[in-house]
Amino acid sequence: MRLLPVRTALPSAAAVPAALLCAALLAGAAAPAVAAPADDRPGASGFTITDPRITESSGLAASRIHPGIYWTHNDSDDGPYVYAVDSATGRTVARVTMSGIGTPRDVEAISLGPDGQLYVGDIGDNRDGTWDHVWIYRFPEPKELRDTTVKAEQFTVTYADGPRNAEALMVHPVTGRAYIASKNEQRGGLYEGPERLSADGPNVFRRIADVPWVTDGAFSPDGGHLTLRGYFTARTYPWKDGRPEGGGERVDAPWQGQAESVTYTPDGKTLMFGAEGANSRVVAVAVAPAGPAAGGGPSASGPAPSGAPGGGNGNRADGGPAGEGGGYGKGVLVLAAATALVVGGKRLFRRRSGS
């Protein structure tokens, strides 16, 4: 991913590393990750991506025909490649090269549709919404796990309300409709694509809901829920009539620094959270039983973040475990400060390196 340009005053370069370390430690103390217990289901336990070629894993999709296999890809500057990683060993068992497409600019997401095809979202915008179009690539999930080259379809994507940066592409597992969540510090948007993508002209995506700052998302295998994650928080929303409903339920997403990806296991019982970086860890988090809150509002686990669909008053962020009383409020403040420090530090580094 590439972060937004600097618009506010930031700490000096010498102070940023210490600030980032402090933010990481505080965030970890305020909101410890709750990983799923050991599980003998294929692909239901966490793993480490060991392939030295994968240093910016920005998306995850669980295979439906190869138990325990997860599809991922690098961010920018890699090429038209998608990797199949065996969660039992963390090793790459296949690299797929997409042909028939242009040069990818900023690949940020991957999703598996009900048609058995992988959808790859070249939807990031390093210039924060200045490209007048982005792309989605599509090809059938390979039946054999080996290095291969496939002919991919390329779909041009535009937004009805103008260009924007995005990192989340979700294909509904029942309807096959594609959705994109834009990434914005104040308030992003959830965008709905046409009923069927067309290679003949631009596919216009239209805003259907407000969402918080999103770095990835995934539908549950039955299509009944949508999980959206950011750097520090994740929420799961009931999906009804083609829309996210209510404020959603908070998910105990792990602290991962450059948190970039999420997907469900094929049985829907576990969420897998990934991050960028060499030898990055994919963390398994058990899916909590669904339970509607009284009165149909936000759940008892906490209000939705500011800008979440249908909920949240914008006066407090979500991030700490529920039921901690005064400790919860302190944890929220720590996470808010940590978010500002981490984002500020990354922006400064990007600016100083000339990206």
Helices 16-30 and 326-353: crossing angle, nearest 10°?
150
pLDDT for 76: 75
Tell me the backbone φ, ψ of residue 294, rounded to 5 degrees: -60, 135
Instruction: Residue 262: count other Cβ atoms within 10 Å of its Cβ.
Output: 27
Average pLDDT along the chain, 355 residues, taken 10 residues at a time:
36 37 37 44 86 96 97 91 98 98 95 98 86 96 98 98 95 98 88 97 96 95 97 94 94 89 97 96 88 38 33 31 30 41 43 40
Sequence letter at residue 250: R
Q: How far apart are CA 295 and CA 39, in angstroms?
A: 35
Asked if 70 contacts 60 with a C-beta cutoff of 8 angstroms, the reply is yes
Q: Going by C-beta distance under 8 Å and a sequence separation of 6 or more, which residues neighbour residue 199?
A: 153, 154, 155
pLDDT for 23: 40
pLDDT for 87: 97
Instruction: Give residue-wise pLDDT tens across range 112-121.
Output: 999 999 999 9
Sequence letter at residue 205: F
pLDDT for 157: 98
Q: How far apart are CA 118 and CA 139, in angstroms?
A: 6
Instruction: Give the pairing type, strands 259-264 and 281-286.
Output: unpaired
pLDDT for 226: 98
pLDDT for 39: 60
The model carries a pTM of 0.75
> How buried is residue 297: exposed, middle or buried, by Cβ count under 10 Å (0-12/13-18/19+)?
middle
Of the candidates 282, 266, 160, 175, the one whose C-alpha atom is nearest the C-alpha of residue 229 is: 282
